[in-house]
């Protein structure tokens, strides 16, 4: 008799046939959706939509810089390395949606990705093919936040869409930044999906705030679904949004819940719906046994085929609505014995719009269309957000902050402007109009206040080293899944594999070496309010919109302000 490991290995060969399709030209909808039902349980899922109801351009990063021990592993693969690892071809739908390779050239052929009406069509089609009684529809969080329409509607436009599609379960991270009261109102009164999370507890007594898991019979199969929200939420976002709640990575507790599902409730299948991030989930599954499938969100990774850790399969469906994942499972005698997996690329010009979802989007957008569609400039430069160290959007934001403070007081001119290393935010193609909504979509935070601080050079260095350790720590359990802060006005060198506190080197501020005892004027946004400092009258969106209007035509520096000493650093992948 075949062992479970051998059975899964055999079934993985089947799965590859459904996840490695390549298309030389723009495919048909039927070709994109070329996956046949299999098994007796189907998981249909999205993650990290980030509030985008309309199609966008979102290129995968040119760089995912990793410490030496993680280099070349899932979660740290880009460009040609990604294509080689997963045996995919250049100049295909996969290359366009999953990598940075030739993005600008392929964008002209394949167009925008995502869109709530298009995702609804795919999800409904997959469900109709399989039958609703054998499907679970899940979302991995970062869902009703960080876009213009999410901000204007307190997330309710996206919640309305989730309800329309019929999602069953969800977890969270940025979703909590609508405010604690609003978040509880959404999950308790408006959201039809069940919010589950084993790792959010009361700060005083340690009681669970939400159900840690749920059990659902799906086509005769008893499925246990455990939820895991982002474990570092109080560190990544201002504490006020989660005051009184405690988060964390808790492998022992997770193992206890798995055991409880297996032994007490006698489930046939255990699924972890996670917003931990792919590298952390891979590390965690080396510690926790008995989970069959992990749907991994947060780090926006794309997994054309599942990552196997022991008997656990880990999949990640990217971000910004670029993919809908479907995992068909064969469960027999309380064992997962086979699977088929596919990420369906959501090419907005190919997939028909679902009529009800289209009307829903139009309804929510109607009050804001005039404001959002105002053209404020033309960009000659490709404006992108995602990269480990540098982006043209962040460079533009730094320029806007410097201009704002120079204009206010030339004597107190700005030395440094910092932008948080958010991994979300759509792109604007070169020689395209820049609209107000584009700015909202890269700065869609609920705490947009800007603060002007005085900081000594040594304090800045300590801060930047702390961020670098979060990004480049060799242990994924200590990585929070963001990118390095963008530092305008600063040039520096980075040694990724140096010891903590020794990674940032040869720092120059405004062209001069950093002086440890000198006070610098620093503009910050996107974090907790600094004690005793009042915010500027204009928030970060206003500052950037006004600057772009003033410029009218944008030409932004492409060359990064950082030199990486011990890791390749790509600067031309989008333009190839």
Q: Percent of the chain, pLDDT > 70?
A: 95
pLDDT in tens, 107-125: 999 999 999 999 999 999 9
pLDDT band at residue 412 under the 50/70/90 scheme: low
- Judge contact between 213 and 227, C-beta under 8 A: yes
Alpha helices, H only, 366-419 = 369-372, 392-408
Question: Exposed, middle or buried: residue 236 (CB in 10 Å: 0-12, 13-18, 19+)?
Answer: buried
Indicate whether 405 and 351 sit together in one domain: no
Q: What is the mean pLDDT of residues 394-406?
A: 95
Could you tell me the residue range of the domain that residue 262 belongs to? 38-57+111-361
Q: Is the pLDDT of residue 26 over 90?
A: no
Q: In 10 A of CB 522, how many CB atoms?
A: 23
User: Is 327 domain-assigned?
Assistant: yes
Residue 275 forms part of a structural domain: yes
Residue 389, both tokens: 């160290």
Give dist(CA 478, CA 198) in Å, integer.
Answer: 19
Judge if 315 and 455 occupy the same domain: no
One domain, residues 302 and 450: no
Phi, psi dihedral angles at 246 (to 5 degrees): -120, 140
Task: Please indicate, yes or no, whether residues 381 and 431 belong to a single structural domain of this protein.
Answer: yes
449 and 482 in a common domain: yes
306 and 388 share a domain?
Answer: no
Q: Answer yes or no: is 29 within a domain.
A: no
Are residues 355 and 403 located together in one domain of the fold?
no
Tell whether 290 and 433 lie within a shared domain.
Answer: no
The string of pLDDT tens digits covering residues 313-348 is: 999 999 999 999 999 999 999 999 999 999 999 999
Residue 100: partners with Cβ closer than 8 Å, 6 or more residues away: 59, 60, 61, 62, 78, 79, 570, 573, 574
Give the pLDDT band of residue 8 (cuts 50, 70, 90).
very low
Q: Is 244 within a domain? A: yes
Closest CA to 439 of 554, 302, 571: 554
Mean pLDDT of 549-559: 97
pLDDT at 411 over 50: no
Q: For residue 409, what pLDDT band results from cuts at 50, 70 and 90?
A: very low
- pLDDT at residue number 9: 41
3-state secondary structure of 131: coil
CATH number of the domain enclosing 420: 3.90.780.10
Residue 217: inside a domain, yes or no? yes
Task: Could you list the beta-strand ranges (E) of 292-404.
Answer: 293-296, 307-309, 312-315, 323-332, 335-345, 375-379
Whether the predicted pLDDT of 410 surpasses 60 = no
At 25 the pLDDT is 73
Does some domain include residue 6? no
Q: How far apart are the first and last CA of the chain?
A: 50
Kindly tell me if the per-residue pLDDT of 20 is higher than 50.
Answer: no
Residues 394, 351, single domain; the answer is no
Boundary (domain end) residue, out of 305, 327, 361: 361
What residues form DSSP beta bridges with 562?
A: 492
pLDDT at 24: 52
Q: What is the pLDDT of residue 475?
A: 93
- Do 402 and 289 share a structural domain? no
What pLDDT is recorded for position 168? 98
Which of 340, 361, 382 terminates a domain? The answer is 361
Which pLDDT tens digit goes with each residue over 491-533? 999 999 999 999 999 999 999 999 999 999 999 999 888 999 9
Strands across the sheet containing 553-554: 432-435, 375-379, 553-554
Domain co-membership, 309 together with 381: no
In the structure, what pLDDT confidence band is assigned to residue 18 with cuts at 50, 70 and 90? very low
**Per-residue pLDDT for 10 more than 50?**
no
Q: How far apart are CA 398 and CA 78, in angstroms?
A: 26
Average pLDDT score over residue span 38-61: 98
216 and 271 inside one domain: yes
**Residues 40, 134 contacting (CB under 8 angstroms):** yes
β-strands 490-494, 135-139 pairing: unpaired
pLDDT tier at 413 (50, 70, 90 boundaries)? Answer: confident
Confidence class of residue 432 from pLDDT cuts 50, 70 and 90? very high
Q: What is the pLDDT of residue 407?
A: 57
Is residue 443, in this structure, part of any structural domain at all?
Answer: yes
Stretch 389-403: mean pLDDT: 97
Mean pLDDT, rounded, for 210-224: 98
Q: Domains in the chain: how many in total?
A: 2
The residue among 361, 389, 414 that closes a domain is 361
> In the numeric block, which tokens belong to residue 494?
């980075």
106 occurs within a structural domain: no
Q: pLDDT per residue over 157-215, tens digit each?
A: 999 999 999 999 999 999 999 999 999 999 999 999 999 999 999 999 999 999 999 99
252: CATH: 3.60.21.10
């Amino acid at each position: 008799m075949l062992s479970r490991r051998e059975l899964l290995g055999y079934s993985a060969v089947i799965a590859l046939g459904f996840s490695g399709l390549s298309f030389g030209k723009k495919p048909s909808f039927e070709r994109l959706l070329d996956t046949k039902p299999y098994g007796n349980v189907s998981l249909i899922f999205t993650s990290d939509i980030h509030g985008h109801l309309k199609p966008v351009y979102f290129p995968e990063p040119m760089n995912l810089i990793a410490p030496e021990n993680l280099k070349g592993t899932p979660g740290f693969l880009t460009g040609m390395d990604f294509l080689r690892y997963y045996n995919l071809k250049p100049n295909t739908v996969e290359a366009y949606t999953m990598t940075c390779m030739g993005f600008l050239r392929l964008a002209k052929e394949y167009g925008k990705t995502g869109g709530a009406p298009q995702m609804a069509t795919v999800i409904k089609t997959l469900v109709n093919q399989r039958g609703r009684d054998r499907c679970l529809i899940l979302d991995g969080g970062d869902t009703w936040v960080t876009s213009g329409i999410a901000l204007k509607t307190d997330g309710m436009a996206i919640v309305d869409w989730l309800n329309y599609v019929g999602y069953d379960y969800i977890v969270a991270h940025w979703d909590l930044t609508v405010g604690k009261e609003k978040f509880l109102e959404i999950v308790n009164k408006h959201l039809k999906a069940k919010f589950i999370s084993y790792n959010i507890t009361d700060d005083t007594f340690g009681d669970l705030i939400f159900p840690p898991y749920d059990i659902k019979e799906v086509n005769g199969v008893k499925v246990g679904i455990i939820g895991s929200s982002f474990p570092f939420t109080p560190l990544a976002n201002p504490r006020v949004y989660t005051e009184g709640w405690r988060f964390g990575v808790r492998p022992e507790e997770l193992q206890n819940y798995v055991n409880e599902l297996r032994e007490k409730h006698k489930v046939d299948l255990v699924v972890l719906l996670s917003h931990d991030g792919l590298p952390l989930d891979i590390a965690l599954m080396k510690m926790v046994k008995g989970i069959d499938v992990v749907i991994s969100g947060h780090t926006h990774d794309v997994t054309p085929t599942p990552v196997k850790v022991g008997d656990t399969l880990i999949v990640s469906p990217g971000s910004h609505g670029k993919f809908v994942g479907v995992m068909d499972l064969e469960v027999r005698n309380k064992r997962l014995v086979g699977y088929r997996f596919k990420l369906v690329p959501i090419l907005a010009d190919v997939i028909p719009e679902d009529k009800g979802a289209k009307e829903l989007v139009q309804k929510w957008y109607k009050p804001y269309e005039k404001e959002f569609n105002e053209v404020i400039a033309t960009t000659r430069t490709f404006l992108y957000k995602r990269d480990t160290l540098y982006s043209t959007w962040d460079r533009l934001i730094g320029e806007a902050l410097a201009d704002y403070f120079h204009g206010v007081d030339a004597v107190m001119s700005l030395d440094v402007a910092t932008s948080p290393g958010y991994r979300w935010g759509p792109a604007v193609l070169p020689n395209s109009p820049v609209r107000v909504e584009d700015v909202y979509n890269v700065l869609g935070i609920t705490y947009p206040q800007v603060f002007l601080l005085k900081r000594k050079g040594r304090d800045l260095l300590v801060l930047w080293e702390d961020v670098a350790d979060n990004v480049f720590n060799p242990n994924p359990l200590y990585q929070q899944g963001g990118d390095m802060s963008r530092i305008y006005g600063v040039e520096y060198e980075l040694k990724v594999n140096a010891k903590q506190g020794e990674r940032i080197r040869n720092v120059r501020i405004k062209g001069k070496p950093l002086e440890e005892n000198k006070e610098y004027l620093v503009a910050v946004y996107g974090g907790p309010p600094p004690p005793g400092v009042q915010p500027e009258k204009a928030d970060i969106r206003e500052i950037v919109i006004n600057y772009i209007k003033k410029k009218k035509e944008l030409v932004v520096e492409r060359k990064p302000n950082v030199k990486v000493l011990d890791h390749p650093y790509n600067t031309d992948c989008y333009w190839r």
